[in-house]
């Protein structure tokens, strides 16, 4: 620990930001490979406490090929993933991903995950949307939670790492295309820190908080997207925001897709299983984009149910026919959520649900090894991203349910190994950095934001208006005119953001300051999402334009790349890697 | 609705009252967010998932430790709410407490899978086979979200700062009860101690307040049984010294009880 530049400098070989499944899995992979060989020291950094990351809320399952002898195969899982992505996935990455997922399921089983079992003691799997084989491996309906428990507990047995709970990372330091560390605020003391590291990993998850109704945690503000964007790094495919079909009204709490995997029905106000109109063969088990659109269509055409308490329209998710025993064994958490938040027992009553913001298919532009790519498409030396924060892209324009947690595990493994190989082979020295960069960042936060006495704009008021804008204009169905309204409003909010004034001036746990910094990230992301969506004049996966209802492979079979410019994002496009299957019509 | 919050800014402590619009379906966490966003930006509390699975928002609600995100106003059946930071922890600011000691105690019981051959934890060609019934022996104890609410309710934690506490002990049992784990002997030293399982008086308060139904009190009694069985089998004498009683004097700046005019119908 050095104090040579007026702030705390902490030296590590690797600094990992974000402690969900991807971050923890990366840390473990580095430590278990090293076993003291190089004596690598790892900093594990989270803006909340370890074990509080939003991966704990993943519910239904984690897909992997476990039973080829029963008819599953890597080809089938890859095909499901690519078809689910509406052909925007990079097929080489998908092919690698499906192969590694299997080992991850078995490895974390050894580390303690209580997978549901068959009677003979082998791991049980179930159906999920868009699958051709029931390969969603699950531990009740708390799959992500149990996976987090196993990873966190396993990490505790290693020595060569330090935890930095409640440290908010404010910037990625990059000089001459080389990663040099992260700057952060220690929320407990308010001190400014520089994590000087040879390698950095961003695993900060998604950005559901851009919306009012979301299944995502208060902490899911997409900080990693903002950090990369501010560092001049490209974001990819951000206009593809996943709406999970079954969010509990009114909050949007996740009701797992596994409910439908176990056989739940979606019914409209007339008691009709309306999915027959939209996906006659898969019905309720169509991929999420299709089911979310179906629900919104039912509501738009007057077949939704009105909830007078919240003023929201919804449809019903009916699990009554599953029976109490099956519900208790396989969906106990959903029952608990119904009881605790609405006083509804799913054994006897259906749940009111509507689509809820759930996942960002887009993210930090990375290559197949998770290396972060710069504006010209070559890797930044020493920087990786994994999990939802990264966009390889495996999920293209729509992620299949049960393909989120395995992405985190697989890419935690891949990135952990790639980081280790880099340090082992290149033996990079601890980076040198001109102090001005750090002093500038310190002044931005503590002088220009915290210390500012002028201005009258309120962080929470702007955040409220941002959420309303995204909810109203950048939702499941989009139109050019709505998106234009969103772009104008976001521009206005960004302007007002320059005049925010914080009323909490303290250093200890100044959440007002943290929320202000998050809001800065969120406004940029909202702009990238809305403008990217406006430019993409087609409908593909989660991006559904009422004014351009068809997929347009001739013009839009390509990834969106957004870079920060002086007047907002600059857009360009790169091709999709198609190695196995040519795009075909997507019918379920 | 009147909301009275125990506040602390690092120097002084005080009770602060807020008058807030609330619906019966609102959670305590909704109310706290409303206060912070609309009334008082300086209020400090933790939150994340807002659905009872991350364990961030443990606090004392009308005298009872609970998760703010899972407590609905309607079910409190009181006309006002009183919120305090979790008992038995050092308060850092307002409703934010210091969890350092808590996570260290948890780590001290080696809460990870232990095999006599550690290579078995690194190799993944096949899973261990565990039947659905075997799963039931430990899975309840794996529900722990590390919210720390149980320690706030525990009368023993309140008088013995060295007591491992219900969370750590419950997690030791989670692994010991797991048919895949072989680490009982590695953990026994820290458990079979005057500040370990034997300090527990089986008040059961931990299990009463646990928001996830973990039942740490049951786990601790099972641990006692396992330890006694082990001692009998190995003819080991108790290595346990009687615990020295650590009676904490209340700190000089300890919170005073709330003023008398404040009544909670049906609460406390």
Query: Given pLDDT bands bounded at 50, 70 and 90, which one contains residue A156?
Result: very high
> Taking chain A, what is the end-to-end CA distance rounded to the nearest angstrom?
58
- What SS3 class is residue A443? helix
Strands (E), A156-190: 161-164, 167-175, 178-186
Residues above pLDDT 90, as percent of chain A:
97
Q: Is B53 on the interface with A (CB under 8 A)?
A: yes
Contact A456, A501 (CB under 8 A): yes
Residue A126 has pLDDT above 50, yes or no: yes
Instruction: For residues B211-227, give the mean pLDDT.
Output: 97
Q: Mean pLDDT over residues B169-178, rounded? A: 98
- Range B69-91 average pLDDT: 95
The C-alpha atoms of residue A24 and residue A31 are separated, in whole angstroms, by 11
Question: For the purposes of burial, counting CB atoms within 10 Å of the CB of A437, is it exposed (0-12), middle (13-18) or buried (19 or more)?
Answer: middle
Region A226-250: what's the mean pLDDT? 98
Å between B261 CA and nearest CA of chain A = 30
> Which pLDDT value is given to residue B260?
46
The packing angle between helices A91-110 and A143-156, to 10°, is 70
As a whole number of angstroms, the distance between CA B220 and CA A486 comes to 56
The pLDDT score that the predictor gives to residue A127 is: 96
Q: How confident is the model at residue A434 (pLDDT cuts 50, 70, 90)?
A: confident
Inter-chain touch B112–A341, beta carbons under 8 Å = no
- A32 contacts B178? CB cut-off 8 A: no
Closest CA to B37 of A457, A459, A499, A454: A459
Q: Give pLDDT, residue A43.
A: 98
> Residue A4 has what pLDDT?
43
The pLDDT of residue B235? 72
SS (H, E, C) A270-317: CCCCHHHHCCCCCHHHCCHHHHHHHHHHHHHCCCCEEECCCCEEEEEE
Does the pLDDT value for residue B268 go beyond 50? no
The alpha carbon of A574 is separated from its chain's Cα centroid by a whole number of angstroms, namely 22
Please write the tens of the pLDDT for every residue from A257-279: 999 999 999 999 999 999 999 99
pLDDT in tens, A317-375: 999 999 999 999 999 999 999 999 999 999 999 999 999 999 999 999 999 999 999 99
Name the catalytic one among A244, A293, A330, A358: A244
**CA gap B191, B184 in Å, rounded:** 10
- Respond yes or no on whether the N-terminal peptide bond of residue A393 is cis (omega within 30° of 0): yes
- CA dist list (Å): A257 to A184, A481, B204, B240: 37, 32, 36, 51
C-alpha span between A491 and A530 (Å, rounded):
11
Nearest to A157 by CA among B118, B165, B99: B118
**A155: nearest CA in chain B?**
B112
Mean pLDDT computed over A215-221: 97
Nearest to A117 among B36, B70, B130 (CB): B130
Nearest to A110 among B128, B142, B175 (CB): B128
The answer to whether B216 and B170 have CB atoms below 8 angstroms apart is yes
CB distance A206 to A216 below 8 Å? yes
Window B:107-146, CB contacts with A under 8 Å:
107, 110-113, 120-132, 134-135, 138-139, 142-146
Res. B68 pLDDT band, cuts 50 70 90: very high
Nearest to A365 by CA among A559, A84, A83: A559
The predicted pLDDT at position A7 comes to 84
> Which chain B residues are Cβ-neighbours of A336 within 8 angstroms?
52
**Average pLDDT for A60-84:** 97
A149 contacts in chain B (CB < 8 Å): 142, 144
Calpha distance A553→A544 (Å, rounded): 15
Which pLDDT score, from 0 to 100, does residue A489 have?
A: 98
Q: How many CB atoms are located within 10 Å of the residue B207 CB?
A: 20
A1 sits in which H/E element: none
Cβ of B131 and A121 within 8 Å?
yes
The reply to whether A260 belongs to the active site is yes
In three-state form (DSSP H/G/I as H, E/B as E, the rest C), the secondary structure along chain B is CEEEEEEECCCCEEEEEEECCCCCCCEHHHHHHHHHHHHCCCCCCCCCCCCCCCCCCEEEECCEEEEHHHCEHHHHCCCEEEEECCCCCCEEECCEECCHHHHHHHHHCCCCCCCCCHHHHCCCCCCCCCCHHHHHCCHHHHHCCCCCHHHHHCHHHHHCCCCCHHHHHHHHHHHHCCCCCCCHHHHHHHHCCCCCHHHCCCCCHHHHHCCCCCCHHHHHHHHHHHHHHHHHHCCCCCCCCCCCCCCCCCCCCCCCCCCCCCCCCCCC
| Measured distance CA(B198)–CA(B204) in Å, rounded | 14
A156 with B9: Cβ contact below 8 A: no
- The DSSP secondary-structure symbol of A320 reads G
A475 is a catalytic site residue: no
Put simply, whether B102 touches A (Cβ < 8 Å) is no
In this prediction, residue A85 has a pLDDT band, given cuts at 50, 70 and 90, of: very high
pLDDT at A5: 44
Residue B124 has a pLDDT of 78
Residue B253: per-residue pLDDT: 63
pLDDT confidence of residue B234: 86
Average pLDDT over residues A465-490: 98
Q: Is B77 in the A-facing interface, judged by CB distances under 8 Å? A: no
Spatial neighbors of A79 by CB under 8 A, at least 6 apart, are A132, A581
Q: How far is B121 from chain A (nearest CA, A)?
A: 6
Q: Give the pLDDT confidence score for residue B244 in this predicted structure.
A: 54
pLDDT for A2:
39
Q: Span A82-105, mean pLDDT? A: 98
Looking at the DSSP assignment, which residues form a beta bridge with residue B253? none
Q: Which residue of B has its CA nearest to A55?
A: B54
Structure tokens, B3: 């909301």
Shortest CA distance from B98: residue in chain A = A188
Query: How large is the angle between the packed helices A459-473 and A511-535, nearest 10 degrees?
Result: 30
Assess whether pLDDT exceeds 90 at residue B225. Answer: yes
- What pLDDT, on the 0 to 100 scale, is given for residue A3? 41
Q: How many CB atoms lie within 10 A of CB A224?
A: 29
Residue A1's pLDDT is what?
39
List of chain B residues whose C-beta atoms are within 8 Å of the C-beta of residue A333: 53
Active-site choice (A135, A149, A260, A395): A260
Q: Which of A238, A259, A256, A239 is nearest to A247 (CA)?
A: A256
């Amino acid at each position: 620990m050095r104090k040579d530049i007026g702030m705390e400098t902490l030296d590590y070989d690797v600094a990992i930001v974000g402690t969900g499944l991807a971050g923890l899995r990366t840390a473990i992979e580095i430590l278990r490979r090293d076993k003291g060989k190089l004596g690598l020291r790892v900093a594990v950094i989270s803006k909340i406490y370890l074990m509080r990351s939003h991966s704990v809320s993943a519910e239904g399952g984690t897909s992997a090929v476990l039973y080829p002898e029963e008819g599953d195969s890597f080809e089938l899982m890859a095909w499901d993933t690519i078809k689910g992505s509406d052909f925007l996935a990079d097929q080489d990455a998908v092919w690698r991903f499906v192969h590694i997922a299997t080992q991850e399921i078995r490895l974390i089983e050894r580390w303690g995950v209580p997978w549901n079992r068959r009677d003979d003691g082998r791991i049980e799997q179930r159906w999920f949307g868009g699958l051709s084989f029931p390969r969603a491996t699950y531990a009740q309906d708390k799959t992500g939670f149990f996976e987090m428990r196993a990873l966190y507990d396993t990490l505790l047995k290693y020595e060569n790492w330090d935890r930095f709970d409640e440290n908010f990372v404010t910037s990625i330091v990059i000089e001459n295309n080389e990663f040099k560390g992260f700057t952060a605020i220690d929320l407990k003391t308010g001190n400014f820190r520089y994590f000087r590291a040879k390698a950095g990993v961003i695993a900060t998850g998604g950005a559901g908080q851009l919306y009012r109704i979301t299944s995502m945690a208060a902490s899911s503000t997409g900080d990693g997207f903002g950090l990369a964007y501010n560092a001049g790094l490209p974001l990819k495919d951000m206009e593809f925001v996943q709406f999970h079909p079954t969010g509990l009204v009114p909050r949007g709490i996740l009701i797992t897709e596994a409910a439908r995997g176990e056989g739940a029905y979606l019914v409209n106000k007339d008691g009709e299983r309306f999915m027959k109109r939209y996906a006659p063969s898969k019905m309720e088990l169509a991929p999420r984009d299709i089911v979310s659109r179906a629900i919104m269509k039912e509501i738009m055409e007057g077949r939704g149910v009105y909830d007078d308490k919240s003023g929201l329209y919804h449809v019903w998710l009916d699990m009554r026919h599953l029976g109490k025993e099956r519900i208790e064994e396989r969906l106990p958490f959903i029952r608990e959520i119904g009881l605790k938040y609405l006083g509804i027992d799913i054994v006897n009553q259906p749940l009111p649900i509507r689509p809820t913001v759930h996942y960002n298919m887009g993210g930090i532009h990375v290559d197949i090894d998770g290396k972060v790519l710069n504006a010209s498409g070559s890797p930044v030396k020493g920087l990786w991203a994994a999990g939802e924060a990264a966009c390889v892209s495996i999920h293209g324009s729509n992620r299949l349910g049960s393909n989120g947690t395995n992405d985190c595990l697989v890419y935690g493994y891949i990135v952990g190994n790639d980081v280790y190989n880099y340090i082992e082979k290149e033996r990079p020295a601890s980076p040198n950095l001109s102090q001005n960069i750090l002093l500038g960042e310190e002044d931005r936060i503590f002088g220009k934001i915290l210390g500012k006495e002028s201005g009258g704009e309120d962080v929470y008021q702007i955040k409220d208006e941002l959420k309303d804008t995204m909810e109203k204009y950048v939702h499941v169905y989009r139109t050019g005119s709505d998106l234009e309204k969103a772009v104008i409003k976001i521009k206005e909010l960004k302007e007002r953001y320059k005049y925010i004034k914080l009323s909490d001036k303290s250093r200890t746990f100044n959440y007002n300051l943290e929320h202000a910094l998050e809001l800065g990230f969120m406004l940029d992301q909202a702009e990238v999402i809305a403008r990217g969506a406006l430019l993409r004049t087609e409908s593909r996966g989660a991006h559904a334009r009422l004014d351009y209802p068809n997929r347009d492979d001739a013009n839009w079979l390509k990834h969106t790349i957004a870079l920060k410019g002086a007047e907002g994002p600059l857009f360009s496009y790169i091709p999709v890697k198609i190695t196995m299957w040519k795009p075909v019509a997507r019918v379920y | 609705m009147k909301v009275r919050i125990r506040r602390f800014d690092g120097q002084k402590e005080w009770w602060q009252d807020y008058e807030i619009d609330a619906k019966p379906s609102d959670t305590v966490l909704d109310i706290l967010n409303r206060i912070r966003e609309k009334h008082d930006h300086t209020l400090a509390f933790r939150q994340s998932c807002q659905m009872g699975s991350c364990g961030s928002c443990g606090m004392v609600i009308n005298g009872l430790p609970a998760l703010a995100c899972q407590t609905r106003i309607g079910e409190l059946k009181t006309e006002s709410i009183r919120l305090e930071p979790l008992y038995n922890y050092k308060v850092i600011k307002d409703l934010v407490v210091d969890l350092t000691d808590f996570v260290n105690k948890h780590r001290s019981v080696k809460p990870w899978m232990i095999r006599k051959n550690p290579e078995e934890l690194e190799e993944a060609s096949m899973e261990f086979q565990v039947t659905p019934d075997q799963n039931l022996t430990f899975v309840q104890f794996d529900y722990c979200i590390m919210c720390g609410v149980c320690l706030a309710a525990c009368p023993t934690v309140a008088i013995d700062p060295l007591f491992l506490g219900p969370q750590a002990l419950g997690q030791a049992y989670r692994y010991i009860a797991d048919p895949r784990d072989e680490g009982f002997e590695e953990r026994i030293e820290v458990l079979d101690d005057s500040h370990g399982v034997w300090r527990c008086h089986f008040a059961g308060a931990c299990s009463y307040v646990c928001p996830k139904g973990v039942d740490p009190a049951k786990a601790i009694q099972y641990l006692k049984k396992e330890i006694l069985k082990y001692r009998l089998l190995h003819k080991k004498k108790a290595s346990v010294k009687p615990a020295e009683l650590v009676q904490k004097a209340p700190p000089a700046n300890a919170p005073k009880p709330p003023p008398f005019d404040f009544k909670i119908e049906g609460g406390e």
